[in-house]
Chain A
Amino acid sequence: MTLVAEDASKRYGDVTALDHISLAVDDGECVALVGESGSGKTTLLRSFNRMVDLDGGRIVIDGRPVTAWDPVVLRRRMGYVPQDGGLLPHWRVRRNVALVPWLLQDHDPEARANAALLLVGLDPETFGARWPRALSGGQRQRVAMARALAAKPAVMLLDEPFGALDAITRADLQSAFARLRQELRVTCVLVTHDLREAITLADRIAVLRRGRVEQVADAATVLATPSTQYVAELLERAGVRNTPLAS
């Protein structure tokens, strides 16, 4: 599945979230949206599954304008992982993970859920009957990822999925995610404020600032030739580059 933003604009009152952004995500590619709070990265992510409707420009999914898609149909084809997992607190783990297959009227949603739990490294026997509140932060995010994957979506939208975790757990989940990407070749959009994470996990990086794209390139290009002062500072702060911008 391909995702394209063309001249996308969005305002919330006086605040500009997206300021004429254009970006294309190829089939099977993983693009990281990197930026500070208020850079517009989450708004752009949510415009792909029509959780946000644009004020200007357009989003095109698989060659069709997003406005021509039924949002419910579209969203069921896109996995979604928010920062806090967004698990339904009144459903056990297995029912949470089985959600999208159940919505799609799969003949055996529980089997899909068990398979997805195995995929993210959780034993369905042990974890299936647990309540979300009984999970650790890392387990919760694994369950959220299993839920996003259970219906074998064409696209995964991840909104700071590892942002609230401690460093060791985060590293665990990042490697689990990298492995899944290798296996499933699913199209991914990963929102993060952590440039290191973007470099490790994404094929390409889009640096956003105040609703505009500062630079879009693969990790090596961004590291070697940051296109603006801001990107260079971001690299420095992340500790992945300490030579100043050559200009």
Chain B
Amino acid sequence: MHRNAARALVLAWAAHLMGAEGLSAQGPDAGRPVIVASKPFGESYLLAEMFAQILEARGFQVDRRPGLGATEIAYGALRSGAIDVYPEYTGTGLITIYHLPPAADPTVVFSRVAIAGHERDGVRWLPPLGFDNTYAIAVRRTTADSLHLATLSDLARVGPRLRGGLTPDFIGRPDGLPGLERAYGLRLASVRALLPAVKYQALVAGAVDVIDGYSTDGLIARYDLVVLADDRHFFPPYEAAAVVGRDLQKSEPGAVLALTDLSGRVDGGRMRMLNRRVEVEGEPAALVARDALRDLGLLAGQAPRPDTTHNERERRPSLLTYLIADRGHIAALTARHLVLVAVSLGAAIALAVPLGLALTRVPAQAEAVIRAVGIVQTLPGIALIAFMIPLFGIGVKPALVALVLYSLYPILRNTYTGVRDADPSAVDTAYALGMTRGQVLAYVRLPLAAAVIMAGIRTAAVIDVGTATLAAFIGAGGLGDPIVSGLALSDTRMILSGAIPAALLAVLVDGSLAVLEHAMATHS
């Protein structure tokens, strides 16, 4: 009774800190907020922000979940009803989501994905926003000049002399590198996987010679790069569009209607300009989105001209200034991160320690069970988190489940080994003097294994602090939020404002557990 009450209290406290909405699966109620999500890169953030503001202007409540993993996670969340709308690209829908044959005509591509989305998953592709953000295979101007490169066919000619720095996404998807290799016979000297946040710097610094970008990226113009023409029309059109989930269509048709106000209104030139303000000038996405909507006459008020008197230093203050200015927000994220770690670690201890003890009774099966749990550990964190979406949606719940699964192995392994190997002579003598099995466990095996179990818990805790940053990919918040956003927006300060507290937190958590362990050792 007592223990249950304490547990309920802890859970209630956790729910309070996290915002209770994260813990309960959402169903379609009247008047619920519209959940607007994005994928983790700048343009997607910006479009989602525009969706959110246009909905708010029409009187809808909005819950923002930016930076969801990648295509699989964002679309999976939409299909399962965990989010209501996010911006996607028709070519990505065609090839990556629905696995349909490629096509060159934008109208054909849109109608195919619209039909496939409706028939397979009940989602609705709203008419495209008005610009095509296709892949842009880019090289430095000096490279283009010296090797006379203007098209992808030219690139295929000299490919073996060039090093590629491509996003992991592009390396894997059929409308990415594998398709280019087939269509153009392209062979590069080497291919290195680079995250969007670093690929432009890598190209400019000469570490690689070819990168994949998006045609609307603000950085292409900034670094004076040459985009090679797709002369064989390999890439399908990638028209940006809002994709709306099944629930919202039923419960809030007005919201869907409001979102169509953007259809056909954003052309390529405007999008490049907006992306440039976010990615190059470092302006907040919310501000840029507001200006864009005002410019389009979709929001009341006059869009101010970008203030040219602002200099770079004012927009991008030093890391320290940034951290100090943002300390309230960072503290809140840290607290939430700590709760994610504490709750998942507590649950993992509650599961793994009894399981480890039980396994010492069946040593023949123990290794198999522990190895099976260990397999979870070999899954990349982001993959494990992605697996949780169909089961638990997005938000705190799937993140906690994934973190618990991730923490089990070190605690389980150490509990089993520690209890099994506890000073055999002491254990034998304890039995020989008339201790019962339970007494031997409670007074001999467990206390003697305590240090080893504690080492497992500390390992799990440190892994947990790190893995919890991935929770941001499914909208669970924590210190991963600024890391994911910073990676998407190429903002190093923002990345560090999450990474530095996370590293300090890992040290702090390990240190506190060490103190606890010492206290336990001296107490017994």
Contacts and interface: CB of A to CB of B under 8 A. Distances in A.
B429 A82 contact: yes
A74 B423 CA distance: 24
Contacts of B435: 72, 99, 103
A80 B432 contact: yes
B429 to A, nearest CB: 3
B431 interface: yes
Contacts of A72: 434-436
A147 B429 CA distance: 11
B428 interface: yes
A86 B434 contact: no
A225 B443 CA distance: 50
Contacts, number: 56
A80 B448 contact: no
A36 B426 CA distance: 24
**Residue of A73, A74, A90 contacting most chain B CB atoms (<10 Å):** A90
A235 B426 CA distance: 34
Contacts of A87: 426, 429
A75 B434 contact: yes
A88 B432 contact: no
Contact of B434 (A46, A76, A82, A157): A76
A32 B431 CA distance: 23
A100 B432 CA distance: 11
Nearest to A157: B432
Interface of B is mostly: helix
A129 interface: no
Interface string A185-213: 00000000000000000000000000000
A82 B428 contact: yes
A79 B434 CA distance: 10
Interface string A86-109: 111110000000011001000000
A49 interface: yes
Contacts of A73: 434
A51 interface: yes
A190 B448 CA distance: 29
Interface of A: 46, 49, 51, 72-76, 79-80, 82, 84, 86-90, 99-100, 103, 147-148, 157
Interface of B: 423, 425-426, 428-436, 439, 443-444, 447-448, 524
Closest 10 CB pairs of A and B: A86-B429, A76-B434, A75-B434, A80-B432, A86-B425, A90-B447, A88-B426, A72-B434, A84-B425, A51-B432
